């Protein structure tokens, strides 16, 4: 037996991850509402911190497109690392509750209530962070280019057609839930952080749509617009509450399809219904002239 087997340092297998995710889904669905909402606020703030970090990187005009996207995606990983390791309730990650739902361990009503409560908790958490970051004059950094990066990000997202946002939301949460899946394979904090980095940085670099991160971008952009902190000549006409809803609603729906459908249900079918299905025990072979117990009794008598 190897050292890894004795000490348990191997990564969890995909079938073991599926079982862990199901159990965690049941736990999340049954978390008391107040605790769940507060954990959701923490998650919203955590993802907002990742988005804030991302805007610092892309505010540097000396970086090329690929370099700024790659580095920005890597620093954005702060958000999901805080959620998974420090503990919080993130809407996009909670879409994996669909695995427990598919196995009949969580009802439809309980799953939808959790998603709704966590989505609104994430919203409140991001808006609280927006207030704190705004009051700290963070967007004044780099000669105001950080604020400009926020405005440009929000304006570009608001200008996308809703169908485009929907499909970008699917791809985003496929990668986010795969990041959660890889992190669940790890046994240490280092394992988990390394596991989530590539999928998360990929969705950020590719410009896919994360409904909760977008709450931060739009919240901060709306705050800057309302207080007159928009550079002269910048077209902020798309940055409105309606523009935010135009993006966040289809992004949310796409996130549900990508996370619960393309990751949760697919892996459930593979590892629970496929490899995880336990075959019925084979019947014991009957012996001619009597049962197995009778044959064992005859052997005992013969020995005496």
The structural domains of the chain, with segments of one domain joined by +, span 11-278
Q: In the predicted model, is pLDDT for residue 303 greater than 60?
A: no
What torsion do the CA atoms of 67, 70, 73, 77 make, to the nearest 10 degrees?
A: -120
Q: In the predicted model, is pLDDT for residue 2 greater than 60?
A: no
pLDDT > 90 fraction of the chain, expressed in percent and rounded: 86
Residue 4: predicted pLDDT: 45
Mean pLDDT, residues 13-35 taken together: 96
Q: In the predicted model, is pLDDT for residue 293 greater than 90?
A: no
Residue 276: predicted pLDDT: 60
Mean pLDDT, residues 11-22 taken together: 94
Residue 284: predicted pLDDT: 53
Per-residue pLDDT of 124-147, as tens digits, reads 999 999 999 999 999 999 999 999
Residue 10: predicted pLDDT: 82
pLDDT band of residue 291 (cuts 50, 70, 90) is very low
Residue 273: predicted pLDDT: 74
Residue 272: predicted pLDDT: 84
The radius of gyration computed from the CA coordinates of the chain, to the nearest angstrom, equals 25
Mean pLDDT, residues 176-189 taken together: 97
Q: In the predicted model, is pLDDT for residue 71 greater than 90?
A: yes
pLDDT band of residue 281 (cuts 50, 70, 90) is low
Per-residue pLDDT of 183-214, as tens digits, reads 999 999 999 999 999 999 999 999 999 999 99
Residue 70: CA count within 13 A, CB half-sphere: 5
Q: In the predicted model, is pLDDT for residue 216 greater than 60?
A: yes
Residue 18: predicted pLDDT: 95
Q: Report the distance separating Cα 294 and Cα 61, nearest Å.
A: 86
Cβ atoms 187, 11 nearer than 8 A: yes
Question: Which CATH superfamily, name and number, covers 11-278?
Answer: Glycerol uptake facilitator protein. (1.20.1080.10)
**Coil, strand or helix: which one is 63?**
coil
pLDDT band of residue 237 (cuts 50, 70, 90) is very high
State the DSSP string of 226-245: HTT---TT---TT-SHHHHH
pLDDT mean across residues, the chain: 91
Give the predicted TM-score (pTM) of the model: 0.88
Q: In the predicted model, is pLDDT for residue 296 greater than 70?
A: no
Q: Report the distance separating Cα 59 and Cα 143, nearest Å.
A: 10
């Amino acid at each position: 037996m190897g050292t890894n087997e004795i000490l348990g340092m191997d990564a969890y297998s995909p079938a073991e991850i599926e079982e862990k995710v199901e159990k965690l889904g049941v736990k999340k669905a049954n978390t008391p509402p107040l605790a769940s909402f507060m954990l959701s606020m923490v998650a919203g703030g955590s993802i907002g911190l990742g988005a804030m970090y991302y805007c610092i990187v892309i505010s540097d005009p000396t970086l090329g497109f690929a370099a700024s996207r790659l580095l920005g995606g890597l620093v954005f990983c702060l958000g999901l690392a805080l959620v998974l390791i420090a503990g919080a309730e993130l809407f996009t990650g909670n879409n994996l509750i669909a695995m427990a739902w598919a196995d009949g361990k969580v009802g439809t009503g309980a799953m939808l209530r959790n998603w709704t409560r966590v989505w609104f908790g994430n919203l409140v958490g991001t808006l609280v962070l927006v207030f704190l970051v705004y009051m700290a004059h963070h967007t004044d950094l780099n000669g105001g280019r950080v604020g400009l990066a926020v405005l440009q990000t929000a304006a570009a997202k608001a200008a996308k057609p809703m169908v485009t946002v929907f499909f970008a939301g699917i791809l985003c949460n496929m990668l986010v839930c795969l990041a959660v899946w890889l992190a669940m394979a790890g046994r240490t904090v280092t394992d988990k952080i390394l596991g989530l980095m590539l999928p998360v940085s990929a969705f950020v670099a590719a410009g896919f749509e994360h409904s909760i991160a977008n709450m931060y971008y739009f919240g901060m952009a709306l705050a800057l617009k309302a207080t007159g902190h928009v550079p002269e000549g910048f077209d902020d006409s798309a940055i409105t509450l309606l523009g935010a809803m135009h993006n966040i609603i289809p992004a949310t729906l796409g996130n549900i399809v990508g996370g619960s459908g393309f990751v949760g249900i697919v892996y459930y079918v593979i590892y629970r219904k496929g490899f995880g299905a336990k075959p019925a025990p084979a019947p014991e072979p009957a012996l001619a002239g009597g049962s197995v117990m009778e044959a064992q009794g005859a052997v005992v008598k013969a020995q005496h």
